[in-house]
Structure formats: C-alpha cells, structure tokens
A and B are shown apart, each in its own frame.
Chain A
Amino acid sequence: MRLYMQLTVLLAFSIAIVGCASEEKVVDDRPKPPQTAEQQRYVEGEIIVRYEDNFSEQSIHSMLKVHGAKIKQKLPGENQYLIQLPFGYLVRSAVPLYNGLIGVKWAEPNYIYRMMQQPPIERKPPVKRIKIRKVNGE
C-alpha cells in the first residue's frame, strides 16, 4: 500500500514536470515566412498526364470528360498533356486517381521550380558609364 502511494506521488510529480517541459517543445515559434510561390510545390488545379501511345486525343478528351477535367495544353513529347482539373479537385487526390486509370502511363503534379538565387545583396556596384546606343538609328 505504501509502495503504491509512493508510486502515485512520483507519477503525479513526473507528469507535472514532463507536461511543463513538453509544452515548450510543441510550439515552433520561429518566424514563419509568407506563403509565396517559392514555398508552393506544385500548381493547384492542374496535373500532367502521359497517356499510352495508342490513345488518341479524342479518346483522351472523352476520358477526361468523365472526370470533369479538360486538356489545358498539349505538351511536347509523346501524348503528354497538361490537364485542368474541375474546380475544387485537389492535385493530391487527382494524381493517384489518374495513375490508376487505364491508358495512363503516369500522372504527376505540375511542380514549381525555384530560382537558385540568394537574397539580393545590399552592396551596390560603383557607378560606371553605360554606353548609350540609339535605337532604330534615331
């Protein structure tokens, strides 16, 4: 009985300590950046689909119609299309769906690329003369 009471007290004490300590850990209080294109991984509302070679554009149109989607752009390469999803249809739902369709080789998000430049440098180049060239012989 005495051991049980000791355990209970110890447990309560440790829970209180751990609770306080854990409270700090769950908050990521670092400043958050604005949601910009740099952070987006792909364009919402459109996906890229590569169809089997024997699928005509007409049959693709018909297939897309079933899902309320349409061709936004024919892409270079064989039977590759940028597909406009119906309003409200999420890319993360569409990609597995289309990858499971007959006639689809692969489907993927239209990923967004990032410029590989660092933040602008404050340092200004010294002023140099720039050659002025007349345009159109004026």
Chain B
Amino acid sequence: MVNKIMRNGYVSMVKKFLSIFIVAFMFSLNANAANPKYVPGEILVKFKDGVSDFKKMGLRNSALHQGQSLRKASLVNTISQLSIERWALPEGESVETAMSELKKNESILYAEPNYYLHKMALPNDPYYVDGDQWGLGAIDWLDVWEGNPQPDSSGVTVAVVDDGVFASHPDLDDRLVPGWNVFLGDSSTSPNFDTSPGATHGTQVAGIIGAEINNNTGISGVAPGVKIMPILFTTDSRRTTADAADAFYEAIRINADIVNFSYGAYFYSNLLADAVKALEDEGILLVTSAGNDEVNNRYVPIYPGSLPNKNIITVSSVSETGNMTEWAQYGAFSVDLLAPGDNVITTSVYVPDDPDDPVEANYAYVSGTSFSAPFVAGIAALIKGEYALADMYEIKGRIMAGVETHATALDKVAAGGIANAANSLSVIPAPVLVIKSADVDSSGNGIIDSGETAELVIELENIWSDATTVEATLVPLDSKISIEDPTKSFGNIAKGGTASATYSISLDSFSGHRHIPFQLDISYSGIDLAPRFFSLESGRLVNEVQLNASFDNSGYDDMHYYYFNVPVGTESFSITATSLKDIDLFVMRGARPLLYPTMNKHLGGEGYEYIYDYEDDDDLEKIGFSRSVSSSGNELISLPNPVSGDYFVAVYNYGQSTGTSYTISAQGISSGSTTFGGGGGGNINMLLLLALFGFGTALRNRKH
C-alpha cells in the first residue's frame, strides 16, 4: 500500500511536472516564432544525493565567472523526489552558458534545458501513425509540425486546378472552400462520377496538400489547416488550354494565394502563357509538374512548367529510396526541385462499377509528378501561413533555399535536391541564385566539339533577396575541359533579376559522345552560396567514322544528341546506329529533333510511343525530320538530296536498359559519287552504297 501511495505520489508529481512543461509550452506559443526547442531563460538542475538546500541556494547565487556579479537565478519550483530544481536565469544569461558552467560543478549531476514536449503533438491519423506516409518524412515535415508554434495555414488558400475534389471525403470536407466549375460557371466542384467516372486526380492532389490532421482518419496533409479551393477545369473528355486558362483567371478572381496545376502539354500556347502572366502579375505562385516521360525538359519543354515566369515552381519526383525517380522529367534550368511522387498515399475516391452503388471516400497509393507538385504547394502554404507578408519571391526563395541536395539531383534540377519543409520555414532571408541558362557556342551550332574552344554564356537568376557583387567560379568536373579565367563578375542582381557572364572553355579531343559536367561556385559580397551544377553535351559525327558510345548506368541517361554537317553538293547521306538493345534513331535539320517518348503503359500498352510536334509526312519532309524506330537495335536513316547544313541526330534508349552500348556512323555521298573526304570516286564500295541508299529510301517512304 505504501508503495502504491508512493508510486501514485510519484506519478502525480511527474504529471504535475509535465503539466508545468505544457503550461510553459502554451505560454511560449505566442512568445517566439523561431521554433525554439526549449524554454528560453530556464534550466533544469539535477543535484547529487546529499546536497543540502543551503548549498543549492548558494549555487543559484554563485558567481557565473570569477570577478563577475552574482547570478541570482530564481527557483521556479522543485521536484524534491527527483532532486531537480527548475531555475529561471537572470536576464542576459543564456541557457547554454549556464549549462556549461553548472555541468562542471561537483554537486550537480546534470543541468539541461527545459525542453518542450512536442511528441505530444504527433498526428493520430492512422496512415501516418503506421508509417505509410513516407512522403512527409522525406520533406522533413514532422520537424515543422512539432515546431513551436505549430504551423497555421488556415489563412492560406490553395487553388487545386483539376478535375474537382470529392466534397464528402471526411479527410477533406472541412478544408474545402467554394471554388469554381469552368464548365457550369458555378461552384459545384465535386466531380460528377456519372460523367467523369475516373475523376479522382483532384481529390488525390488535394489530400497531399491539406488533408485534415488529428482526426483519427486516413492521412495528414502537408499543410493541414489550409483552405483548399477546387477549380474544376477538366472532365473525362475535355482537358484543354481554353479551360485551363479560364481556371487560372478564376483563381485570380476568387483570391487564391497559390495554384496547384498537376498537368502539362508539350506544346506552347499563347493563351496559357498570358494566363500564367496574369497570375504572376497578381503575385500568385503556380506550382506545377515536370512530367513523367524521363526526358530533359531543356530539350523537350513542357508547359506551363517550362515557361520563364518567376511565379512558377516546376516539381519533379523523388522516390522513397531518396533517388530521383527514373521516369521523372528533369532539367537543370527548367525544373526547380524534387518532391515525393512515387508510391505516395493520399485521399481518393472509390467509384463502383455498378452505378447504383454509392461512391465512397477511400485512400490510394499514387505516382507521378502530379503528386510531387502538391507536396511543394503544401510547403508554400506553410510558408505563407508562417510569414503572412511573404510574396511569391520569398515563398519560392525559401522553397529553393531549403532543399536537401541529393547526388541524383545535383545537375538534374535547378536547386539540386529535394524539397524540405523545415529548412524552408527556418532559412534566413538571403539571395537564392540559380542558373537560368547556360548556352555554349551560340555563334555556332550550340554545341562544343572535340578540340574546340567556345564561349559559354551563363545567366543567373536571383529568386529572393537583392544580391550585391555577385561572382561565380566555373569548375569543370571533366578533365577534358579547361577554362580560361574561371571567375566572372555578375555585378548586382536585384530580387527577381538576372545577369550574365561569358566564360571561355576548351574541350580536348575525344571520340564519341560525352556529357560534360560543371560546378558553378557562386558568392555575393564575399559570402558563398549553394553551388549549382549543370552539364553540356558533345557528340559530332564525322563522315565514315564509326563511334562507340553507351548510355550510362544512372537510369536517367536515355537520349544522346549528335550533329552531322552536310556540305553543299551532297547527293545523299545516311546515319546508321546499331546496338544489341532496342534503340531508336531520329534526325532533323537545323535543330534537335523534338520527340516526346510517351509511356504507352500509361495508356494500357507497353513501352513508349513517340508524339511528334509535326502533323504528317509533308511536314516532316519540310523540316528534314526522319526517324528509324524498329523493334531491334539496327536503325538506318537515309536522306537523298539533303539541304546542306547541320543535321542533329538523337539516339533514344528505347529499351531503357542501363549501360546500353551502341555504334553510330554517318556516310555522305557528294555529287561526284564520292564520300566526303573519300579521296576519289567510282569505286565498287560507292556503287554498293548508292544501291543500298536507294533501296533504303524507297522502303522508308513506303513506311511513312
């Protein structure tokens, strides 16, 4: 019984002690916005057994350092059974200093800060509790949620421009505010599953942004208090520029702070560009997806993500492994950062086959950069909630400055890493400089060749605070590159501004294809900023010279570009590529061939299907575009009577095998029936080749 009483007393004491912590925690909620981990000016001191009260008092009033005035710390309360005193330190004495001194005292077992008990704030949402929401961990979300004060995004509105949001979902219903239906011209934005049975996308996006927290249901969103404004712009049968632009203007009209648009098209639209500009003029951030077709958006732009507006954040995908997802699109100048987009759980809708059965709220694992964007939209809402006066520059600047860099992302996205909510909220205002473009040999054909010295123009963009005296040192990460005068001045770059500098780079001789990586070390006023990374690409075909090359093992190297110069008087030329794996070959005159390898499995098929920005064979002929896309690794393109100039060649790793090797060569025939530099004509080989090209061309034409 005595033991029980003692135990109860002890428990009561501990509870009392905990309550003191909580009171302190509550008091501090409004006291400090910098997310402190412990109560400022307080310390907990544990004495060794046998230390008298008199001695304890003496320690409270002892000199901090010899020759200084008495401490005069005051006793707040005591837990006598634990021999712990809670002290309030005198003004001006830091917790760290007091701890450092007291730990040396022989009468004291330990001294430590009075930590806040944040664990009590852990969400109770079942999928979170069971560890299914890996995405929140990847963006360091818990540190934000455990912060003091907890984040409050209740004053922030995120417009989800999508196929509607299921208004009865118990994890979303309290978060929804009236939106807009561009088809009906009203606020009925819950999908009509009779006409759009697959309309679950918007509900899935919305859950990642702001599903309810601590409701013992489903998941927690990134910004659980945020207002979600659905703007329905698509149905199963329609998903167009006109409707998307309409939705963006509606987002302005109904005062959204942030817009999430998890859609894209490979075709530039004036109308959409104007609508994005209208958002930018209103200071509204547009968070959008980079795409899932694993190509470099530098060469294959996707819109709106590749538009140059300063209010756009383009997001690609990271997997649970921490690596950039293999199908994710990337671009060091056109994609901003990564966020979870592979196998993430979110709110969804179950639409039964039988229309008489009710539609039900449920949850689903989903993948795609569609779901990376809302993670960042959620972080943007957290920032806007914490810093109410933050404009689009600050929100984007915080997001970009806060990334955790990752090896697979360094030269793939502008910020070089993965979105991090905790960092983004705590980063101090500073310039955020990223590379907007890096164009080499712009007076030539835009490619640096083996053995060539060329100008490289680098344009920096400052996303956040004004930067003075910006300098950048270009560091080659390829031993074949040398740089004359690698440090250049960019002058002052104001918030939102850009500046350029020109470097002279030389590439030693090599054979084949080469990715050439660089690091750019950037500073302003002598203060170092995060380095940025990018790569150039070099590959030139020389007549009758066979090159050997291979796609690297990274899983992200799928397209190799070359060029081939066709002189005046050429009767025909051919490009041959051979591999044991399935590769495809494309050629276009004057520019890189634009091809969009779209995943057929997305459409229920296998492999990839190419979408071209050209209408039909007539258009292809006009622009000098040819393709060879057999199911083997033997590809041949022959062009009779070609217009002279540079032809660009793309080899696509259709089979997606890492380390795929191939050979590629070009063969041209001049008007004198000789190969370029063939040194004479009329031999048997040339006749054979002519015959070969003649047949090849005939067959190619039949194919088209």
Q: Give A contacts to B, CB under 8 Å.
A: 7, 10-11, 14-15, 18-19, 21-34, 36-39, 41-43, 48, 50, 73, 75-77, 80, 82, 92, 106, 108-121, 123-126, 128-133, 135
Contacts and interface: CB of A to CB of B under 8 A. Distances in A.
A111 B201 contact: no
Contacts of A25: 628, 630, 632, 634-636, 696, 699
* In the complex, the 3 A-B pairs of residues with the closest C-beta atoms, listed nearest first: A76-B249, A117-B368, A116-B289
A42 B605 CA distance: 22
Contact of A125 (B127, B371, B687): B127
B609 A7 contact: no
B366 A48 contact: no
B629 interface: yes
B254 interface: no
B632 A24 contact: yes
B370 interface: yes
A22 B242 CA distance: 45
A77 B275 contact: yes
B239 A113 contact: yes
Given A18-B696, A28-B629, A36 B603 contact: yes
Contacts of B237: 37
Contacts of A77: 245, 249, 271, 274-275, 278
A112 B240 contact: yes
B299 to A, nearest CB: 18
Given A30-B631, A125-B127, A14 B265 contact: no
B263 interface: yes
Given A115-B201, A128-B126, A75 B602 contact: no
A118 B368 CA distance: 5
Interface string B354-393: 0000000111111111110100000000000000000000
Contacts of B267: 41-42, 109, 111
B327 A118 contact: yes
B270 interface: yes
Contacts of B345: 125
A76 B239 CA distance: 17
B527 interface: no
Contacts of A11: 687-688, 691
B695 interface: yes
A116 B239 contact: no
B607 interface: yes
B367 A121 contact: yes
B679 interface: no
Given A15-B695, A34-B604, A77-B278, A121 B366 contact: yes
A31 B370 CA distance: 26
Interface stretch (B213-221, B514-522, B529-537): B213-221
A34 B242 contact: no
Contact of A10 (B240, B598, B684): B684
B82 interface: no
Given A26-B699, A31-B606, A43-B240, 6 more contacts: A111-B241, A118-B599, A119-B367, A125-B362, A128-B363, A131-B215
Contacts of A24: 630, 632, 634
B365 A121 contact: yes
B570 interface: no
B609 A131 contact: no
B702 interface: yes
Contacts of B241: 48, 108-111, 113
B603 A39 contact: yes
Interface in B230-248: 234, 236-242, 244-246
Given A19-B695, A113-B264, A108 B606 contact: no
Nearest to A11: B691
Given A43-B240, A113-B263, A128-B363, A48 B604 contact: no
B600 to A, nearest CB: 5
A22 B636 contact: yes
B263 A76 contact: no
B695 A131 contact: no
A116 B291 contact: yes
B264 A31 contact: no
Interface string B264-283: 11110111101100100000
Contacts of A92: 615
Contacts of B289: 116
B93 interface: no
B126 A129 contact: yes
Given A14-B688, A25-B636, A108 B631 contact: no
Given A117-B201, A125-B345, A135 B168 contact: yes
Contact of B609 (A39, A80, A110, A135): A39
Interface in B394-441: none
B264 A116 contact: yes
Interface string B469-487: 0000000000000000000
B581 interface: no
A132 B173 CA distance: 12
Contacts of B692: 14, 18
Contacts of A110: 240-242
A14 B368 CA distance: 49
Given A10-B684, A113-B241, A126-B132, A118 B602 contact: yes
A33 B688 contact: no
A36 to B, nearest CB: 6
B116 to A, nearest CB: 29
Nearest to A80: B271
Contacts of B366: 117-118, 120-121
A113 B244 contact: yes
Contact of A111 (B265, B292, B630, B700): B265
B362 to A, nearest CB: 7
Contacts of B266: 41
Nearest to A41: B267
Contacts of A30: 606-607, 631
B65 interface: no
Nearest to A105: B270
A43 B602 CA distance: 20
Contact of A123 (B365, B603, B629): B365
Interface in B338-357: 342-343, 345
A54 B615 CA distance: 33
18 contacts: A22-B696, A24-B634, A26-B702, A29-B631, A41-B265, A48-B270, A50-B270, A108-B269, A109-B267, A113-B239, A116-B263, A116-B264, A116-B292, A116-B370, A117-B262, A118-B342, A121-B366, A128-B363
Contacts of B119: none
Contacts of B217: 128-131
